[in-house]
Amino acid sequence: MPNGPAVGPHAGAAAAAAVANAIKASGAIVRMEPDEFERLLHRAENPLLVCATGGLFRTNFQYLFGYKGMVFFTKASQPLSVPPETEIVRAEKIWIPN
């Protein structure tokens, strides 16, 4: 009897189903270039912005916020300009399904 996780022909299908369920749970996420994201953020009234840093070799800045029922995401090499009325939530990590 093997020790460890079960590996077989259905393991790939189970992983794909898990990713599909994560996408369904998170809803539609719109990826944008940082400059477009920044423009949209400045149009929102009192935005709630989730921020995290990531990267292995270079630090990147990740941002997520909701606007008019959609969720927008961007990743930038430098911190973005944020309107003064923005409420900021610092997250340890932002994970976006591929």
* CA–CA gap between residue 59 and residue 66 (Å, rounded): 24
Counted domains in the chain: 1
Q: Which domain holds residue 62?
A: 29-90
**pTM tops 0.85, yes or no:** no
Within-domain flag for 72: yes
Q: Count the neighbouring beta carbons within 10 Å of the beta carbon of residue 40.
A: 18
pLDDT, tens digit (0-9, with 9 covering 90-100), for 57-91: 999 999 999 999 899 999 999 999 999 999 999 99
Within-domain flag for 85: yes
* CA–CA gap between residue 75 and residue 61 (Å, rounded): 6
* CA–CA gap between residue 15 and residue 52 (Å, rounded): 26
Contact between 37 and 72 (Cβ < 8 Å): yes
Within-domain flag for 5: no
Q: How confident is the model at residue 38 (pLDDT cuts 50, 70, 90)?
A: very high
> Residue 97: its pLDDT value, please?
75
* CA–CA gap between residue 39 and residue 23 (Å, rounded): 26
